[in-house]
Structure 1
Amino acid sequence: MESTRRLGAWVSELDTPDAVRDRLALVLLDVLGVTAVGAAQPEQRALRAAWRAPDGPAPLIGAGRSVTVDAAAFLNGMALVSLELDEGNKYAKGHPAAHGFPAVLALAADLDSTGADTAAALLAAYEVASRFGRATALRPGAHPHGSWGVPGAAAGCARLLGLDAEQTAAAIDTAAGMAIAGHFDSATTGNPVRNAWMGASATSGLAAARMAAAGMARNTGTAALSLGTLLGSFDPGELTADLGTRWDIQHGYFKQHASCSFTHPAADAVLALRGEFPGAGITSILVESHALGAGLTGTDWTNRLSAMFSTPFVVATAALTGRVDPDSALDDPAVQTLAQRVRLVAADDLTARLPAERAARVTVAFDDGTTLTREVPNPVGDADHHPLAEDDLVALLKTWLPRQPGLVDRAVAVSHELPDLARVGDALRGLAGPDEKELN
């Protein structure tokens, strides 16, 4: 309760310091662009059609229209994570921005908030979610989507609503009691309910902040019970450690592969070796990973979600095509054959380097007797290893959104201009982009 109280007081007074402004803009650009990439997928289009959301003030990013706040928050949250391209944080052990940004952006569009308040709310959402991620050690088998990050969504929405310290703490604590107990196997077996957990995080964060604004919410230490007793263990000291001096948003990672982040170091290692491949065929690929990533061994993916959580698929695709993109083929016979020759094992020396490093060591063997080995400490895109700059993100987004380059440019402009805007409603609604019928 005391840790949540202190966190609520901090959020209620938070402004965006100059030290993190550039990084916040990069994370916002990534969120906006990746949401649009996800929104362009056929399954997301089908979901929007089935949802039949009425018109409203909040944009469906990249989908050509604006809808009600809760529909936008949920659908944008799902689109954002649907292709495993969204920003993450190794210290939080998941995706702080995806938990909170869809809710904050939808609410800011509705309230027509100032840019300064919106930027502060986005930062609050990220930092609170990340701190809850640090504080929570989920039980084996639990997936991080929709659990520890919900308080981040509530914190950002509380900041936008102008709630005081006590109300904000109550919103954060209430949101901690709305965690989803999702199993990691839902991802590896390709069940899109895993994406819905992020939509639920957004709407739960909105609900918790509204309950606090109505005087219904209380700070009773719920996180220690829901995230701790039920879902794992919880260290409340992590909620306030180095509060106001350590900014976790500066230590996240951006993605260049459409796959689970645990597969990225192996993909990067294979891509680094491709230029040295002899003319001989590949007989086997050994991937040594840390304990967190050693379970992604599936070779019978049934859809894109299950493929993105298969190290054999990702490594074979990288080795044969030189890329792992949202449209990488799922039914390529050569990829399927090579994937059967990929062996993934846990390596104690790599596990010992967590969380600062998420390393992988890859050995590729060829039928002429040649072997090549490469080890990488972190994936390309990690802020502490091989960071991606704005130009890199823009190039990736335009590759993934070939029919909407103008939307990427608009996202760049909003990410830069947002903190200084008098009001954000029109700028955010502009991110809906052209109507889908125009694109067709």
Structure 2
Amino acid sequence: MTRSVTEAVAALGTWVSGLRWDAVPAPVAERLGTVLFDVLAANAVGARTEGQRAWRAAWPAPPGHSPVVGGGTLTDPVTAAWLNGPATVCLELDEGNKYAKGHPAAHVFPAVLALAAELDVAGEELAAALLAGYEVAARFGEATSLRSGTHPHGNWGVAGAAAGCARLLGLDAERTAAAIDAGSGLPVAGHFDSALDGNPVRDTWLGAANASGIAAARLAVAGSARNTGTAARTLGELLGSFDPEKLGEGLGSRFLISGNYFKRHSSCSYTHPVADLLIDARAHVDVAEVTEIEVHTHALAAGLDRTTWHNQLSAMFSTPFVAAVALLHGEVAPRYTELAPQEAPEIADLAKRVRVIEDPELTKRLPANRAARITVRLADGRSHTAEAANPVGDTDFQPLDRDRLGVVFAGLLDGDQAVLRAVGAVVDGMPAAPGARALLAPLAG
């Protein structure tokens, strides 16, 4: 398989180095802008959390040109990547891609934005690098089937960060392929239980991925990187299995960014269809009469069945917690996930009455459908059952556009429109910007 991986990565290197922004289809360019809006807004919201404030305070940031979003600091690219990566994902609000089985943009955008500010590249080059990085990351995610228990943060996405950074550095096809290969040799082997246990090391895997992407591209600049099909061994043996044919499928015509999803709940995406269904169920059931909530879901989500939580991260990865919050409050927002169990006895009590069951028929519908079915049983013997093929925000179901995302993030930012205006200015100004440095600097404010 190593040879086929090498050939597929070489083709990616050719595509990335030759991508012209003015040849990108208009709907794809528009989607990139929406994804960038989402990622920067999620980063800004995450930067306000106590944990990310402490992370920034503990990390010396030398002066530079790369913004720490919402951190009041301009620093070097690697430091910015380490700080912005975790902030982007810490509240589970960043976009994802069901075909990649994870979060391509969060693996790529912090690195590319940070390096673009240092290099002061033109806006069109920044846009091309973001798109190239996203597509490479998403294809590596689609090609990778991780072993059971492996978390998708920090492994397959590094190749995309390397691709985007290689594009910014102006590398030719061969060296771009070498950078992508090097990125695939720098994965994090993180266990999914870190999320379930509420260990924030899970968030830092995104800092590692973005910093590693910059390193892989620099390695190619130095002439020290080689395209040897590394992913066949790292992603295809150590961490799971790998299908190199997925890397080139429809390359240049099939853009995986067009099939992404956006999130309206502050929780793992696997919990979203459950939350959607239970928010709708509030019109049909009396919460005080609920004796049990039975959740049928697919194999990827079935392990999120813990009925207790220790902190915000473990709450966001507990379907019983999310189900209880959705039914009780009609939303799943950080103000609920940050509550300790003793601070929210009504949530803790209802969560204990939630059962999560894998339905093999729902598993068969992956990845096109991330389905769930709920049955709410009441004390008088009545019940309410409903099913959703995908969560709200999925491109194939009820997509969220930039305006609707703006409403979601405005609520999370307590109506602070200045932040969203700054993010919007970056998105709208990017294609025509003469340099990324002045474009991106206001994000630090």
* TM-score, normalised with respect to structure 2: 0.96
Equivalent residue number for residue 8 of structure 1 = 13
1:403 & 1:369 partners in 2: Cα distance? 43
Equivalent residue number for residue 426 of structure 1 = 438
Determine if contact 1:280/1:368 at 8 Å carries over to the other structure: no
> Residue 136 of structure 1: CA displacement?
0.7
1:77 & 1:185 partners in 2: Cα distance? 20
Of residues 384, 389, 396 in structure 1, which corresponds to 2:408?
396
Q: 1:194 to 1:280 in 2, by over 3 A?
A: closer
> Residue 367 of structure 1: CA displacement?
1.2
Aligned-pair RMSD on alpha carbons? 1.0
Q: Number of paired residues?
A: 433
| Deviation digits for residues 413-434 of structure 1 (CA, Å, limit 9, x no counterpart) | 211221221112112111112x
2:18 & 2:322 partners in 1: Cα distance? 44
Of residues 408, 411, 415 in structure 1, which corresponds to 2:420?
408
2:108 & 2:287 partners in 1: Cα distance? 48
* Residue identity matched to 1:227: L
2:198 & 2:260 partners in 1: Cα distance? 26
With 407-416 and 83-92 compared, the bigger mean Cα shift is at 407-416
Determine if contact 2:287/2:328 at 8 Å carries over to the other structure: no
> Residue 82 of structure 1: CA displacement?
0.4
Q: 1:24 to 1:268 in 2, by over 3 A?
A: same
Equivalent residue number for residue 173 of structure 2 = 165
Query: Map of 1:34-433 to 2, 5 A cutoff?
Result: 34-278=42-286, 280-328=288-336, 329-331=339-341, 332-402=344-414, 404-433=416-445
What runs of 5+ residues in structure 2 fail to find an aligned partner?
Answer: 1-5
Determine if contact 1:12/1:159 at 8 Å carries over to the other structure: yes
1:118 & 1:284 partners in 2: Cα distance? 51
SS of residue paired to 2:80 = helix
Determine if contact 2:107/2:157 at 8 Å carries over to the other structure: yes
SS of residue paired to 1:419 = coil
2:100 & 2:295 partners in 1: Cα distance? 25
> Residue 280 of structure 1: CA displacement?
4.9
> Residue 73 of structure 1: CA displacement?
0.7
1:109 & 1:65 partners in 2: Cα distance? 13
SS of residue paired to 2:399 = coil
2:241 & 2:189 partners in 1: Cα distance? 14
2:233 & 2:110 partners in 1: Cα distance? 26
Determine if contact 1:188/1:306 at 8 Å carries over to the other structure: yes
1:279 & 1:257 partners in 2: Cα distance? 20
What runs of 5+ residues in structure 1 fail to find an aligned partner?
Answer: 434-440
SS of residue paired to 1:293 = helix
2:51 & 2:425 partners in 1: Cα distance? 28
Taking only the aligned residue pairs, the percentage that are identical comes to 56
> Residue 402 of structure 1: CA displacement?
1.8
| Deviation digits for residues 362-419 of structure 1 (CA, Å, limit 9, x no counterpart) | 0111112221111011010001111001111101111111263201111112112212
> Residue 29 of structure 1: CA displacement?
0.1
SS of residue paired to 2:300 = coil
SS of residue paired to 1:356 = coil
1:177 & 1:254 partners in 2: Cα distance? 29
